[in-house]
Amino acid sequence: MVYVKLTILLTVLGNLQRGHSDTTVASASTSYVNSSNEPTVDGSTVQYQTNWTTTDSNGGTTKPVTQNVMTTEASTPNPEAHLQILGKGLRWFQENSTFKLFCSYSDASINVDPAQLRFYDGKNNQLSEDRGFRRTVLSSSSSFVNVSLTKDRIQAEDFGKYVCRYGDDSSFNIHVGILKVNITDATYNLLMENKEDYTLTCDVIPAVDTETINSEVTLWFKDGVKAEDVSPRHIVNGSTLNIRKAEWSDIGPYTCEYIVLWGSNNSSFQWMVSFNGEARIGSVSVSFNYFQDDDMELSCPVSGYPYPVVTWQRNGVVITPDNRITLSPDASGKYINAVLNIQSLQFEDKGDYSCTGSSELNTVTSSPIKIRVKDKYAAVWPFIGIVVEVLLLVGIIVVCEKRAKRKKEDTDVVDQPTARRTSERRTSEARQRIISS
């Protein structure tokens, strides 16, 4: 019997191009629950997932912005080898993103001609380069061919039915929906701190033809927490997020999640909306005293969004890491090089230190921190001096006492004969007075 297999798979590979410099596409991948590279058609279940991951170009911080489209479908075994199809239904793409459409055909009973497997729109017009589409033969053999259809920047008018056909007999079609997204960021005004209201917008406009959208909803998150749970000041109104009397802690990346339900299937998409704030640096200590061979750690109290990148200076010269000096992010991991570590401080490490935070919005530098490095024996020298002084005083006192004692002894020896002569003279005078009388 003739066995014919025709499968079609969509993979979103492209840029989530919003016209914002802070977001770039890091990766896009399609994975199958089947162990093989292609979904099977022998009655098993196929499951595939498409991921978009964006990163912040200011420091490379990965954002939790991932688009997941998860669909599970099963084919029915056909012992008579009729056409087997996987991937029915509607597939979504974001406007200005790049997509790839894969189509493969196999038939062991004929010599498969790669040129016969082509793509058409719903009006039976071949999709060719004049409309921005590129057809590429990825692999082929006498009984198998696999081709792709790509377009770099799909537009809203590209929605509709896409047909993959081998010759005039075997064909398969799906419906492509295009999501047009209007993103409005906001920037915090430091002069109006805690006094101004801000609005973030994530307006998603779907373009689709035959499939019916049963419902759609937009959710807002900050750091994985629903925006309305962050504070009562965060008010969600569909495609808009209002932040009343915004505080500095409200700045940062917000995630807009769009969920669309069509038929019995649903798809979820996420985008990043920025609440920006100029870089600022808090107060720092005026000075620190260290001893030679101590380890030093200084932290730069920087904040802002996009997250500023920190550089350190000593006496106005930028510090370069080496075997003793390391730079690392802060505890949150958001601010690159915010922590300066120097091991085994030396006298040449003393000086005025400062940190600078730079983002695409502004650059700000901290006040200087004076670092003093003392001799590691500096605390010993005063003690030794005191001991020496005490010993000298004791020595002087001992010498003085000895001299005083010796002088006293000499005086006593000289005075004893004089006292004896005086006594004898008084006795002689007394005798003479007695005789005279």
DSSP 27-51: EEEEEESSSSSS---SS-EEEEEEE
For the stretch 251-285, what's the b/e string if a residue is b when 16 or more beta carbons lie within 10 angstroms of its beta carbon? bbbbbbbbebebeebbbbbbbbbbbbbbbbbeebe
Beta strands at 240-243 and 198-207: parallel, antiparallel or unpaired? antiparallel
For the stretch 115-153, what's the b/e string if a residue is b when 16 or more beta carbons lie within 10 angstroms of its beta carbon? eebbbbbeeeeebeeeeebebeeeebeeeebbbbbbbee
- Strand partners for 5: 84, 106
Q: Taking CA 341 as the corner, what is the angle to CA 336 and CA 342, rounded to the nearest 5 degrees?
A: 145
Q: How many Å separate Cα 303 from the centre of its chain?
A: 13
**pTM for the model:** 0.67
- Phi/psi at 386 (5° precision): -65, -45
In this prediction, residues 166-183 reach a mean pLDDT of 85
Report residue 436's pLDDT band, with 50, 70 and 90 as the boundaries. low
| The pLDDT of residue 355 | 97
**Picking from 8-22, 230-244, 365-379, 410-424, which range would have the lowest pLDDT averaged per residue?**
8-22
Domain with CATH 2.60.40.10 in the chain: 4-182+203-214+261-268, 282-374
What's the residue count for the chain? 437
- Strand partners for 78: none
| The pLDDT of residue 169 | 72
| The pLDDT of residue 59 | 45
Maximum mean pLDDT: which of 73-82, 246-255, 419-428: 246-255
Q: Which single residue is written with the structure tokens 């896009």? A: 28
> Minimal CA–CA distance to 174: which of 107, 77, 279, 99?
99
Note the CATH number of domain 4-182+203-214+261-268. Answer: 2.60.40.10
**Picking from 70-74, 118-122, 182-186, 224-228, which range would have the lowest pLDDT averaged per residue?**
70-74
Q: Rounded distance, CA 432 to CA 381, Å? A: 77
Q: Rounded distance, CA 161 to CA 72, Å? A: 21
In this prediction, residues 281-291 reach a mean pLDDT of 94
Q: Taking CA 272 as the corner, what is the angle to CA 270 and CA 274, rounded to the nearest 5 degrees?
A: 160
Q: Rounded distance, CA 246 to CA 190, Å? A: 10
Q: Is-contact 342 348, C-beta < 8 A?
A: no
pLDDT above 50 for 267? yes
Q: Tens digits of per-residue pLDDT, 300-356?
A: 999 999 999 999 999 999 999 999 999 999 999 999 999 999 999 999 999 999 999
pLDDT above 90 for 75? no
Residue 422: how many CB atoms within 10 A of its CB?
A: 10
pLDDT above 90 for 289? yes
pLDDT above 70 for 38? no
SS3 at position 108: coil
Identify the CATH homologous superfamily for domain 282-374: Immunoglobulins (2.60.40.10)
| The pLDDT of residue 247 | 95
What is the chain's mean pLDDT, rounded?
77
